[in-house]
A = this chain, B = another copy of it.
Amino acid sequence: MSSSPVSDKPSESTPDFNNIHVVLVQTSHPGNIGAAARALKNMGIPNLRLVEPRTPFPSDEATWRAASATDVLERAQVFGSMEEAVADCGLVIGASARSRRMPWPVLTPRQCANHVVQDAGNNRVALVFGREDTGLTNEELQLCHYHVQIPANTEYSSLNLAAAVMVICYEVRVAMLEALAPEGSEAARREQRFAGDSVYNPDNESEFWDVPKADAHQLELFYQHLEKTLTDLTFHKPDNPRLLMQRMRRLFTRIRPDTMEINILRGILAYVDEHVKIANNKD
């Protein structure tokens, strides 16, 4: 297997999606080829390689299931053996559903993705999937540096081929995006818009949420108003508070209302106050 570096700057190892190849060996169902092409394009992986597809390729079924990923099918390279298909790849990881006769280093999909990221700057990387019924042969598995196993229900561990391709490619995408987004960059902020991590991330909130959060002072005014209104309603009995206000504070504080929401809530309290005043004055 050739391991000539793709880049002429061996010390430059920014991982590149263009170096990642998914290899499907002797696929039976053309629908799986099409669905796999769609999964690749969804996850930003441009290269598909087919080894001896067992039904004629290309086909209408593959094209239909590829949906808007027909370009991936059109660019797909076809080889006569797995050995030829991975010859120019510096890292080869093969999907394996169960342990075989000879133990081999096995990775989870997440660990597989980390390896891909480490090598996809300087090397072509191959992610290899076998036949729907029998997977990869022992000889083919021994052409791999690592095997990858998708954690699955022991009662039914056989994934559809295109579904397995999607899981591996999804983990690769997540790992690649993390590696490619420097801290605080536009790309990182854009990715955080979809990450929503810490649900309300102050760094990306103004881009995403439509109104600024209420500050602590506005919140405090709201709680004081709420407590007074609840007391006037006789719902809140100050001599027997029963943790009511604590629970109310915990309820509203933990989700950080924005200023419009606080204004609405205070407006509601004002309307309630008015009705309470009328009701009480007429008793």
Contacts from A to B (Cβ < 8 Å): 35, 38-39, 41-44, 65, 67-69, 99, 102-103, 105-111, 146, 149-153, 155-160, 162-163, 166-167, 170, 173-174, 177, 191, 193-200, 208-210, 230, 233-235, 244, 247-248, 251-252, 254-255, 257, 260-261, 264, 267-268, 271-272, 275-276, 278-280, 282-283
Contact of A103 with B156 in the complex, beta carbons under 8 Å: no
Q: Identify the closest chain B residue to A162 (Cβ).
A: B163
Q: List 8 A-B contacts (CB under 8 A).
A: A39-B160, A41-B155, A69-B156, A106-B194, A151-B173, A233-B268, A254-B255, A282-B282
Contact of A38 with B160 in the complex, beta carbons under 8 Å: yes
Nearest Cβ in chain B — how far from A201, in angstroms?
A: 8
Cβ-defined partner of A43 (8 Å) among B152, B166, B195: B152
Question: How many copies of this chain does the complex contain?
Answer: 2
Nearest Cβ in chain B — how far from A78, in angstroms?
A: 23
Given A42-B159, A42-B163, A198-B199, 10 extra CB contacts under 8 A: A103-B208, A159-B166, A163-B163, A170-B170, A198-B198, A244-B264, A275-B275, A275-B276, A278-B278, A278-B282
